[in-house]
Amino acid sequence: MSLRQSEVIAPCPSDPASQRAVAAARRVVETLVRHTFSSGSELASAAATLEQLADRLELSSPTAQAVVDGLERRERYSRHDPVSGAHNPFAPPVEVVGRSDGSVAGSVRFGLPHQGPPGLVHGGVLAMVLDHVLALANSWAGTIGMTGGLELRYLRPTPLFADLQVTARQERLEGRKILTSGEITLDGEPCVTASGLFVAFPAPTPAPTGR
Amino acid sequence: MSLRQSEVIAPCPSDPASQRAVAAARRVVETLVRHTFSSGSELASAAATLEQLADRLELSSPTAQAVVDGLERRERYSRHDPVSGAHNPFAPPVEVVGRSDGSVAGSVRFGLPHQGPPGLVHGGVLAMVLDHVLALANSWAGTIGMTGGLELRYLRPTPLFADLQVTARQERLEGRKILTSGEITLDGEPCVTASGLFVAFPAPTPAPTGR
């Protein structure tokens, strides 16, 4: 594994219009959740606006299947993934950089759409993020694979609206097995830890992907 | 544990306007992902529409912190959760029913926002869903708690655009430890299995929540 300077693995979209649209969609999702909690009066009007927009976008977009079919010729980890994907409004997003010591690090702040118990991040959302950041650590280390197993330990409640750190590192390779670990911390204290077993794709990977 | 007929644990919103707005927001997220893949020409216009809507909703919504503060007097598992939450556009959603044999079962179909490798569901999204459905199984069984540990085994790739089944069951209680298992299947064949260790909340739970 080559040692490089810190490098953004999941960058912001280079297209300003896409960046604006994705950021605004995240705001709409967040405010809609707040609004439905209070049975807000704007919901019928918001529904009409969103339906019209979805109709318009559907007319001018490729089908989902066409997008998937086109992906075979592209990088495996794209900017559209559900965790760090700058082009995907579903992604919180987690912004991740590769570090020169071989590990990756990111930061994330969760909001109301990611809530489990009151005021706390949903445990499943934390699992989703860790799975992905472990995969990014594999990508950064140069050998990627499919998740075979994932073990999570929840050490303490993880609050919403807090600046959380996520780190991960590929520990070792055993044949096609890739062993990778990571954690989510708040102020340096671990909230959740993860150990992953990944199965390397048959062909060697030439370089970290996702860029 | 009482045996009941199948019962919807995470129902659709009773408010038609909310239901429409949430469904339309999911469509916008999905079409935006398709659109950014093709560098669509509608993105600047979509961004303006979404920014205006977010501005309007923010003016008429409680703050996120006010929502959280108000939750202490409400049920723990609400309709706003990130997996089955009918009021949360972030939720795929997974629709879950409690069954008379004590287990819970749901169905879900994932789209482009949930993609990992091309054409496949992201492993982290599957982890998120299983964590939540295990928690719903605990709720249905009458004893809920915080996730302490979660182990996932990925047995085969899970395709997008397929009708997947999710089932879970509380296996047993050991003091305050709750042991729960579940799986995601396609056509009866398991794709991912999960074992969870939950720590029961100190006070006994009177009844299944989330309704």
Between CA A99 and CA B156 the distance in angstroms is 32
ipTM for the whole complex:
0.89
Position B121 pLDDT exceeds 80: yes
Asked if B115 and A81 come within 8 Å (Cβ–Cβ), the reply is yes
Under a CB-based contact definition with an 8 Å cutoff, are residues A37 and B70 in contact? yes
- What is the 8-class DSSP label of residue A157? -
Residues of chain B found within 8 Å of residue A113, distances taken between Cβ atoms: 82, 88-90
Please list the rounded mean pLDDT of every run of 10 residues in chain A (211 residues): 47 72 94 79 90 92 84 60 92 93 96 93 97 95 93 97 98 96 98 97 61 42
Q: Between A22, A90, A117, which is nearest B90 by CB?
A: A90
Which helix (H) or strand (E) segment is A32 a member of? helix A16-37
Which three-class secondary structure state does DSSP give residue A196?
strand
Between CA B132 and CA A80 the distance in angstroms is 24
The tokens describing B97, both together, are 């029913």
Give the closest residue to B90 by CA, choosing from B48, B28, B133.
B28
| Over residues B56-84, mean pLDDT | 78
Instruction: Determine the distance in angstroms separating the CA of B86 from the nearest CA of chain A, rounded to an integer.
Output: 10
Asked if A56 and B42 come within 8 Å (Cβ–Cβ), the reply is yes
Residues of chain B found within 8 Å of residue A23, distances taken between Cβ atoms: 47
Q: What is the largest CA-CA distance in chain B?
A: 59
Question: What is the number of other CB atoms lying within 10 angstroms of the CB of residue B173?
Answer: 17
Asked if B125 and A128 come within 8 Å (Cβ–Cβ), the reply is yes
Residues of chain B found within 8 Å of residue A70, distances taken between Cβ atoms: 37
Asked if A89 and B113 come within 8 Å (Cβ–Cβ), the reply is yes
Asked if B21 and A32 come within 8 Å (Cβ–Cβ), the reply is yes
Q: Which residue has the higher pLDDT, B77 or A186?
A: A186
Q: Give percent of chain B with pLDDT exceeding 90.
A: 65
Under a CB-based contact definition with an 8 Å cutoff, are residues B138 and B208 in contact? no
- Which pTM was predicted? 0.89
